[in-house]
Structure 1
Amino acid sequence: MSLPSFYVNVPRHLVAVDCIIFGFEDGKLKLLIIKRKVDPMEGAWSLVGGFVQEKESTDHAATRVLQQTTGIQDIYMDQLQCYGETDRDTGARVISVAYYALIRISEHDRMLANAHGAHWLALHQIPELIFDHSRMLSDALARLRDKARFHPIGFELLPEKFSLPQLRNLYEEIYQRPLDKRNFRKKILAMDILEKLDEKDKSTSKKGANLYRFDKKKYAALTQHGFVFEI
């Protein structure tokens, strides 16, 4: 595409999107990362990302990258921030707009992810990442923790039916610290967004734990208006 005359002498830079993709599985908050297939740093661990195409917005580019890697069409995604340090990419001057996404690991296309060389790893297993991707991950975790205080994010990560211990475990993984069982139960039930089911999860004990699911209407209303969930 030719540039108009008034932009001819303006510097041009590459624009990329990088996606910090979180999932929750086996009681662990996990991150989807890939082994980079191109230079610079081919073979190193990287967040999932790509360059913004000529007729794409950054939102559309991030959605495309997420769908191509996971196979999921409707993904919870939010823009994190822009990273524009002049030396952040050793290959060229690249400005990256980062997004974090929350998905149910059980719903993603594992074969598609494998084809892209993608792997789910628990937070304590994350190796050194390329460029400033570790900083992006740290910033995304801070945003996720802040988000969890004001919005009920569990619906995006948990299966449709879950126990209160599973929900508490999710929040413990997000905040990376243990939570008081009774206090958590009291506060989460007081939010009145959970529907108790006539089913139990007996995977951890004979007695079993009651299963719940989110009341979608109340969940949507609370998501829209927000709340303060101090734990």
Structure 2
Amino acid sequence: MDDWLKYSEEVEASWVTVDLAIFTLRDDQLMVLLIERGVEPFLGRPALPGGYVQKGETLRAGALRELWEEAGIDASRLHLEQLGAYGEPRRDPRGRVVTIAYLALGPDLPAPVGGTDAERAYWFPVSQLHKQSYELAFDHADILSDALEEVRRKLEYTAVATAFCGKSFTLTELRTVYEVVWGQHLDPSNFRRKVIKTAGFVQPTGEQRLPPTGRPAALYRRGEAWLLSPPLLRGGGQSA
């Protein structure tokens, strides 16, 4: 027993947190949700929303709670999935903290409202994150980089692009998701052909949207398939 107590005293206490990389499209730009930290460490620095998991709380419940407390966003509209665990020993100056990162996507999400230890919350263009003044706190730049690549990869093999759209959408709106996230132009005719050819990707609603000018556009909804076969590939191709 004495040996066990001695061992316990020598072991550094560990904590578990959750962090969220949340993406949406606003004005045809890929945006990520950031907070300005209102407490130390990294007071005033931008960061991903997140915080400590409470006793008796699941990881997912902690992520949903932190999103609501720090940004005032209801996660019921989001596609939410676990991205991975980050546990570099010096990632948090307060001590040994392991974080579970979540990836979240949603269609044109509302303006966030800062709360708890977030001085403010705001959407920021992913394309502008390279600026020196937006060096993220902790290891959040690594988490964000991994999350962005995961979204780009999933667009190839899954129907996750529809998470950026409303309940119904045009193929032009769906193509915009791919173009913005991948950062490349896609030929409209080829994209339409590939989407329609991919079984279960989208389903026509039978309705149309009348634009201010031009012809009415057919509306679609997400189909029953999650895995795309054949997948849509970033290089502009499509596997056989």
Q: TM-score, normalised by structure 1?
A: 0.84
Cα RMSD, aligned residues only: 2.3
Per-residue CA distance 1:125-165 (angstroms, 9 max, x = gap): 33221121111111001111121122111331112332222
SS at match of 1:202: coil
**Which residue in 2 is equivalent to 1:92?**
95
Per-residue CA distance 1:83-118 (angstroms, 9 max, x = gap): 111111223221111111012234x4x3xx223321
1:7 positional shift? 7.9
Are 1:149 and 2:149 matched, yes or no?
no
CA distance 1:202–1:168, change in 2 (3 Å): same
User: Distance in 2 between the 1:226 and 1:6 partners?
Assistant: 55
CA distance 1:178–1:6, change in 2 (3 Å): farther
The correspondence of residues 18-33 of structure 1 with structure 2, limited to 5 A, is 18-33=19-34
- For residue 138 of structure 1, the aligned residue among 145, 152, 160 is 145
User: Aligned residues: percent identity?
Assistant: 29
User: Distance in 2 between the 1:7 and 1:103 partners?
Assistant: 46
SS at match of 2:150: helix
Counterpart contact for 1:27–1:166, Cα < 8 Å: no
SS at match of 1:195: strand
User: Distance in 1 between the 2:34 and 2:197 partners?
Assistant: 37
User: Distance in 1 between the 2:54 and 2:185 partners?
Assistant: 43
**Which residue in 1 is equivalent to 2:14?**
13
User: Distance in 2 between the 1:62 and 1:188 partners?
Assistant: 33
User: Distance in 2 between the 1:151 and 1:5 partners?
Assistant: 50
- How many residues get paired? 217
CA distance 1:120–1:5, change in 2 (3 Å): same
Per-residue CA distance 1:29-72 (angstroms, 9 max, x = gap): 21111101110111110001111111122222112223433023
Unaligned runs of 5+ residues in structure 1 are none
Q: Which amino acid letter does the alignment assign opposite residue 152 of structure 1?
A: A
Q: TM-score, normalised by structure 2?
A: 0.81
Are 1:195 and 2:204 matched, yes or no?
yes
User: Distance in 1 between the 2:173 and 2:14 partners?
Assistant: 45
Are 1:183 and 2:184 matched, yes or no?
no
CA distance 1:179–1:39, change in 2 (3 Å): same
SS at match of 1:73: helix
Q: Which amino acid letter does the alignment assign opposite residue 188 of structure 2?
A: K
Counterpart contact for 2:162–2:174, Cα < 8 Å: no
SS at match of 1:162: coil
User: Distance in 1 between the 2:168 and 2:121 partners?
Assistant: 27
User: Distance in 2 between the 1:15 and 1:226 partners?
Assistant: 35
**Which residue in 2 is equivalent to 1:115?**
114
1:207 positional shift? 0.8
CA distance 1:161–1:7, change in 2 (3 Å): farther
CA distance 1:197–1:122, change in 2 (3 Å): farther
User: Distance in 2 between the 1:20 and 1:62 partners?
Assistant: 11
SS at match of 2:56: coil
User: Distance in 1 between the 2:22 and 2:66 partners?
Assistant: 11
User: Distance in 2 between the 1:6 and 1:76 partners?
Assistant: 45
1:199 positional shift? 2.3
